[in-house]
């Protein structure tokens, strides 16, 4: 624990390179959270028992994450930290940000529209389309 705290303090003192590493780690963590949140609704779409609380929890993670993500791609964080972010993000930042705004808005709309299993099956895929659509353009395969 002490060592971890000391490392954190050091990281915060030692300049831009590590600060960028932090931003990359943060956005990867947020996306991992989005991926994790998708597991339960994904299973429900494949026929596991519907649980509206889990669906709403996932949608809340999406909305929260979408609001945070745009700010985590500052100039200078294009590479490093095993990022899979594509350089295209920095060439089309407005489009990239707009996609996160849409993802967040779709998650909120779905949270309002989903009241039962039928509405879940109709609305959830619309939200999940955002994942692949964005990754296709703005995420590179890990080498």
Contact residues toward ligand HEC (CB under 6 A) are 24, 27-28, 31-32, 34-35, 38, 62, 83-85, 99-100, 103, 128, 130-131, 134-135, 138-139
**Residues ≥6 apart with Cβ < 8 Å to 140:** 84, 85, 86
- Smallest distance, Å, CB 6 to ligand HEC? 26
| 99 vs 13: CA distance, rounded Å | 34
Distance CA 50, CA 42 (A): 11
Nearer to ligand HEC by Cβ, of 48 and 82: the residue is: 82
| Closest distance of CB 35 from ligand HEC, Å | 3
Please report how close the Cβ of residue 5 comes to ligand HEC at its closest, in angstroms: 25
Sign of CA dihedral 82, 126, 91, 26: negative
């Amino acid at each position: 624990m002490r060592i971890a705290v000391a490392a954190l303090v050091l990281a915060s003192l030692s300049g831009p390179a590590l600060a960028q590493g932090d931003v990359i780690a943060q956005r990867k963590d947020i996306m991992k959270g989005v991926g994790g949140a998708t597991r339960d609704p994904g299973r429900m779409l494949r026929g596991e028992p519907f649980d509206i609380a889990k669906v709403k929890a996932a949608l809340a993670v999406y909305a929260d994450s979408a609001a945070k993500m745009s700010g985590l791609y500052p100039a200078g964080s294009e590479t490093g930290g095993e990022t899979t972010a594509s350089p295209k993000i920095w060439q089309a930042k407005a489009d990239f940000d707009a996609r996160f705004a849409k993802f967040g808005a779709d998650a909120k709309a779905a949270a309002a529209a989903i009241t039962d299993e039928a509405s879940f099956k109709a609305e959830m895929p619309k939200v999940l389309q955002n994942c692949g659509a964005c990754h296709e353009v703005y995420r590179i395969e890990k080498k």
